[in-house]
Amino acid sequence: MSALDASHIEISSDRPAPALSLEWWRGAVIYQIYPRSFLDSSGNGVGDLQGILDGLDYVASLGVDGIWLSPFFTSPMRDFGYDVANYIDVDPVFGSLSDFDAIIEKAHSLGLKVIIDQVYSHTSDLHAWFEKSRQDKSNSHADWYVWADPKADGSPPNNWLSVFGGSAWEWDSRRQQYYFHNFLPSQPDLNLHNKDVADALLDVARFWLDRSVDGFRLDAINFAMHDPKLRDNPPAPADGRSFNKPFDYQLHIYNQSHQNIPEFLERIRLLTNQYDDIFMVAEVGGPEPLDEMKAFTANGNRLHSAYDFSFLYAGQLTSELTKNVVRAWGRTPNEGWPSWAFSNHDAPRAISRWAEEKDAPRAAKLHAMLLLSLRGNAFLYQGEELGLPQANIPFDNLQDPEAINNWPLTLGRDGARTPLPWKAEALNAGFSTGKTWLPIDPRHTKLAIDEQENRSDSSLNFIRSMIELRKITPALRHGDLSFIEGTEDLLAFYRNSETEEALCVFNLGPKAITWRPSNVKQFRQIINVGFSENGSDIPKVLAPLSGYIATRQR
């Protein structure tokens, strides 16, 4: 084994037990499950809830604190579940409510919390609410969605654009009006300025809370309210930012991000406070999301946490990026707790964005070590623990509307949504006995779970050890973070708790770096990537794409 391929783990059994946190979610590691692609129990090529139930023992073996389930609700699947046709039922392709209840029961028996998606900004156009709303202008649901008359020339009410391309307005001949959709035309936006709509969504949340879920991830929550005056968005400044699609050419200050969104979040928090230990995290998109994330998590009476796409869409992982993103949190007493994700179902996998293929095995470990060292919650996307690269999907096999609309300029989302490989030698890598809804990349088969289980140097087993280390190291799970100044590719920081201090050092670049902290003798190395030596001494030379964590008692 070469020095660059090695990873060393030394977790002492005599380490003091960490103090229990009153909040299970603070510093938690949460494993994202994309139901369509996790495990298929029926042989129809699509993952389902029974598959999730069957795979929970594997997830628990990772040592994570909980799971986040992407949508499994009734849906025509034009946006694969994010177009909800019934918020309080399971789509037949996934199973039934009894299957979901079984997941809750088993997950809790394994010590796993269960978080589910809630999509409050829009529904499917097949939702009963929208079918009622579009009938005429005077029915009981007429104002549940965003409707507007055309301009005098028949054109849309304003210049708002859809994320997926074209106008954000769709003509409806029955009402003789346009309806607003931030995403697909089949995803009409709800009118959350209408209290009846907000009340109905709170009833949805209550339904799932009564089924013992442990929290919610609020999808695209900054899209949940619009400007009632329907003012035109201004153009985006020509300041060097990248314009990949028409949506990028505007500053989206009127079609989203309304100032009343925090009031709605406060209502959700009041509801969840009636239940025990509920966790809520927001997904916040956009080029400058920080102010919204802070607003959505402020004052202890809104959401607990938020994450954005700073890492998810980053073309490179750099020391500067990490410092800029992480330093934005932990400065004020009334702000929320950050969450971090390097990969998910909406972004190309990090390993393909940040590393060359030849470096992928080592980079997968290094990225995981960094993600699990940062102050905040860590979201681990299914397959990330295996080091799966972005799958290559031929155009004829694409399913994602965004990927189809923007092909070949973007990698799209399908390449991050392909089935999870369970068994290297089995049909369809053990995911299904039938034709899979997306093809399985042959590179993924070689990285299957069973192939990695028995290799001590595998990405899977390294990440298990890193999650265990985070659990038993209070400084890594809950501690403060302070950066150490370094070179361009050197990223180094301390994590501090009342009882110990952790030194986390990473060489993110392609060249070796000679560097050690001045107080090096006080620290004992406990885990590393890229070094072959088995001692606890702090290395002087950091090989390319290498790093270590060392600790000392205070």
Each residue of 42-64: pLDDT tens digit? Answer: 999 999 999 999 999 999 999 99
CB 424 within 8 A of CB 450: yes
Q: Mention every residue, 6+ apart, whose C-beta is less than 8 A from residue 86.
A: 73, 74, 127, 128
Average of per-residue pLDDT across 20-28: 82
User: Quick one: how far is CA 355 from the chain centroid?
Assistant: 20
Residue 422 to residue 431: CA distance in whole angstroms: 6
pLDDT beyond 90 at 440: yes
> For residue 222, how many other CB atoms are within 10 A of its CB?
24
SS3 for 98-167, per residue? Answer: HHHHHHHHHHHHCCCEEEEEECCCECCCCCHHHHHHCCCCCCCCCCCECEECCCCCCCCCCCCECCCCCE
Q: What is residue 490's three-state secondary structure?
A: strand
Q: Does domain 28-123+195-468 fall into CATH 3.20.20.80?
A: yes
CB 293 within 8 A of CB 331: no
Residue 391 to residue 36: CA distance in whole angstroms: 16
Segment (H or E) for 480: strand 480-484
Report residue 182 as tokens: 């931030």
CB 204 within 8 A of CB 118: yes
Each residue of 397-425: pLDDT tens digit? Answer: 999 887 787 777 666 799 999 999 999 99
Each residue of 368-403: pLDDT tens digit? Answer: 999 999 999 999 999 999 999 999 998 889 998 877
pLDDT beyond 80 at 19: no
Rounded to two decimals, what is the model's pTM?
Answer: 0.95
User: Quick one: how far is CA 96 from the chain centroid?
Assistant: 25
Predicted local distance difference test score (pLDDT) of residue 10: 54
Per-position DSSP letters for 214-230, written without gaps between them: -EEEETTGGGS---TT-
pLDDT beyond 70 at 11: no
- What φ, ψ does residue 525 adopt, rounded to 5°? -70, 135
Which residue is it, tokens 């298929």? 40
Predicted local distance difference test score (pLDDT) of residue 436: 98
Average of per-residue pLDDT across 104-124: 98
Q: Find out whether the peptide bond into 35 is cis, omega within 30 degrees of 0.
A: no
pLDDT beyond 70 at 535: no
pLDDT band at 353 (very low <50, low <70, confident <90, very high): very high
CB 171 within 8 A of CB 64: no
Report residue 134 as tokens: 């579009």
Predicted local distance difference test score (pLDDT) of residue 3: 35
HSE-up (13 A, CA, CB side) for residue 550: 21
Predicted local distance difference test score (pLDDT) of residue 6: 45
Residue 183 to residue 122: CA distance in whole angstroms: 9
Active site residues: 219, 283
User: Quick one: how far is CA 498 from the chain centroid?
Assistant: 30
The total number of residues shown for the chain amounts to 554
Each residue of 355-369: pLDDT tens digit? Answer: 999 999 999 999 999
Domain ranges of the chain: 28-123+195-468
CB 131 within 8 A of CB 139: no
Which residue is it, tokens 């020339």? 153
pLDDT beyond 70 at 18: no
pLDDT beyond 50 at 103: yes
- What φ, ψ does residue 185 adopt, rounded to 5°? -55, -25
CB 247 within 8 A of CB 208: no
Which residue is it, tokens 């003091």? 16
Average of per-residue pLDDT across 429-447: 97
Residue 180 to residue 148: CA distance in whole angstroms: 8
- What region, left, alpha or beta, does residue 429 occupy, with left being phi > 0 and alpha being psi -120 to 50 degrees? left
